[in-house]
């Protein structure tokens, strides 16, 4: 009896469409909720819409095969979803001025995963959809601590700071090098604070000793003429 119900829910009937839509709301919403909590561009609603939309595309392909043209390819519409979702993911990816760091890649990947989950639900492969959702959600939530652990042990520090004049910038670079740090990149920018007399500088610093990130920032904070400093990693 249970197998008969499950087979019915894998089809294109009204009950199946309803069940698949609800599952997409749950799966896509779980991924989107985590992104929304972290104030990312694509949050709960975006992921739900992407997941449900992908499900509809797959359902439509399945419906065409069953009722319109038996020789058509069920996965054709789904394949277009996979390639087409890129434009939406690209909208969540930005490149920051400081250290040319790219942000939003995880959100873009989450949207792509939500679309794939929607396709799995649409064709009735519920097992893959549920397990895939759990895997993606676990990666975004539980593995975030692992990600932060690796970043905290990174030998590279990307920081933005503002000095009151250019001479103090040269003094800071000299001080960093004397403390066993290598300046991989220096970029002078307009000060974000709006103070025209300040000098905005983005630095990519690499350590070659046992100094941790706090020690690296302490060296910067002790520099004369420092107005503002922000760690970007």
Please state the three-class secondary structure of 21-40 as a single string: HHHHHHHHHHHHHHHHHCCC
Beta strands in the chain, from DSSP E residues, in sequence order: 94-95, 102-103, 156-163, 181-189, 199-207, 226-231
User: For residue 154, what pLDDT is reported?
Assistant: 66
What single-letter DSSP state applies at residue 203?
A: E
Distance of CA 216 to the CA centre of its chain: 27
User: pLDDT tens digits, residue range 142-191?
Assistant: 776 766 666 666 677 778 888 888 888 888 888 888 887 878 778 887 77
> Which parts of the chain have pLDDT scores under 50?
98-99
Q: Say what the pTM is.
A: 0.59
Asked if residues 182 and 205 have their Cβ atoms less than 8 Å apart, the reply is yes
- pLDDT at residue number 98: 47
C-alpha pair distances (Å), 51 with each of 22, 40, 45, 194: 10, 17, 10, 42
- Residue 99 is predicted with a pLDDT of 46
Q: What three-state secondary structure class fits 162?
A: strand
The dihedrals phi and psi of 134, each to the nearest 5 degrees, come to: -60, -40
């Amino acid at each position: 009896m249970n197998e008969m119900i499950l087979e019915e829910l894998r089809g294109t009937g009204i009950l199946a469409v309803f069940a698949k839509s609800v599952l997409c709301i749950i799966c896509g919403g779980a991924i989107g909720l985590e992104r929304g909590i972290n104030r990312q561009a694509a949050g709960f609603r975006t992921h739900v819409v992407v997941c449900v939309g992908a499900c509809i595309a797959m359902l439509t392909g399945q419906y065409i095969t069953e009722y319109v043209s038996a020789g058509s390819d069920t996965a054709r519409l789904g394949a277009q979803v996979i390639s087409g979702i890129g434009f939406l993911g690209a909208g969540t990816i930005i490149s920051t001025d400081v250290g040319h760091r790219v942000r939003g890649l995880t959100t873009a990947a989450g949207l792509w995963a939500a679309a794939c989950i929607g396709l799995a639900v649409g064709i009735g492969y519920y097992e893959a959809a549920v397990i895939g959702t759990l895997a993606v959600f676990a990666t975004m939530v539980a593995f975030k601590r692992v990600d932060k652990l690796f970043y905290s042990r990174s030998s590279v520090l990307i920081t933005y700071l503002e000095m009151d004049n250019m001479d103090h910038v040269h003094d800071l670079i000299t001080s960093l090098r004397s403390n066993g740090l290598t300046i991989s990149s220096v970029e002078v920018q307009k000060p974000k604070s709006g103070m025209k007399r300040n000098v905005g500088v983005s630095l990519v610093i690499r350590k070659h000793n046992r100094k941790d990130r706090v020690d690296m920032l302490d060296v910067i904070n002790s520099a004369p003429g420092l107005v503002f400093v922000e760690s970007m990693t």
